[in-house]
């Protein structure tokens, strides 16, 4: 039975039961299977189904599956992956479609690791997921257009987010070098201006900028260590509040 949780998969042997029990006691879930290759491919397919979609949309699984047309997209992703697996001589376990649906049901608030990598400006594992399906499909003569689109979009977003992270770091250094006024003065000024111009577009994102600043940047605008995820999701809004960046 597939759960999509990332269990360790091992072959059955005289010692596999004891090994599985020991690992389980250590908090490592283990699956004993006489079809390890099939089990690993099933996990690959589950990741191919959700990781890229979560990364591109920056949405958790539960919200993804609620989207119009997403069920059909998931079906197409799985069908392409299964076709490649079959051509590669892999015997997939039964219940794959059910396992795909169960991911969103059991982890509705979960973001994929690929989504988290993108948000932090890091290279993702997409080449080893949908990208691997592309490679195997090309070698085996199996078309994988849906996986190709997902792989291409994630790679484009990787480059975009990496460039954004580099830009934010460069601008932050420039702000410090220029001796910008204390941040709390800037925020007070912008708050007053926003109250007079509530419909001005440049103030729409003010709350996110203020939230980003809270507890992470002191009154002298010295940057403390901060998760790059916060810079990517709110850094541009913060810079928009500073003099000369409106």
Catalytic residues, by residue number, are 43
What is each CA distance from 121 to 25, 113, 165, in whole angstroms? Answer: 36, 12, 6
Q: How far apart are CA 102 and CA 61, in angstroms?
A: 10
Rounded Cα–Cα distance for residues 52 and 49 (Å): 7
> For residue 216, which of 206, 228, 204 has the smallest C-alpha distance?
228
* Pairwise CA distance, residues 242 & 183, whole Å: 8
- Matching residue, tokens 């949780």: 5
Q: Give Cα 36 distance to the centre of its chain.
A: 27
């Amino acid at each position: 039975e597939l759960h999509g949780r990332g269990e360790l998969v091992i072959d059955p042997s005289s010692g596999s039961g004891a090994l599985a029990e020991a690992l389980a006691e250590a908090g490592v879930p283990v699956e004993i299977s006489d079809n390890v290759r099939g089990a690993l491919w099933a996990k690959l397919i589950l990741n191919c189904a959700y990781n890229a979609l979560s990364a591109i949309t920056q949405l958790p699984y539960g919200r993804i599956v609620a989207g119009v047309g997403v069920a059909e997209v998931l079906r197409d992703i799985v069908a392409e992956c299964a076709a490649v697996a079959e051509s590669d001589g892999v015997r997939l376990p039964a219940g794959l479609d059910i396992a795909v649906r169960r991911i969103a049901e059991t982890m509705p608030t979960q973001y994929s690791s690929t989504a988290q990598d993108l948000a932090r400006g890091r290279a993702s594992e997409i080449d080893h997921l949908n990208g691997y399906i592309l490679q195997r499909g090309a070698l085996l003569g199996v078309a994988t257009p849906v996986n190709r689109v997902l792989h291409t979009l994630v790679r484009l977003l990787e480059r975009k987010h990496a460039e954004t992270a580099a830009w934010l770091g460069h601008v932050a250094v420039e702000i410090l070098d220029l001796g910008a006024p204390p941040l709390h003065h800037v925020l007070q000024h912008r708050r007053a201006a926003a109250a007079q111009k509530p419909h001005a577009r440049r103030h729409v994102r003010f709350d996110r900028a203020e939230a980003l600043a809270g507890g992470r940047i002191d009154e002298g605008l010295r940057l403390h260590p901060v998760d790059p995820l916060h810079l990517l999701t709110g850094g541009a809004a913060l810079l928009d509040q500073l003099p000369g960046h409106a």
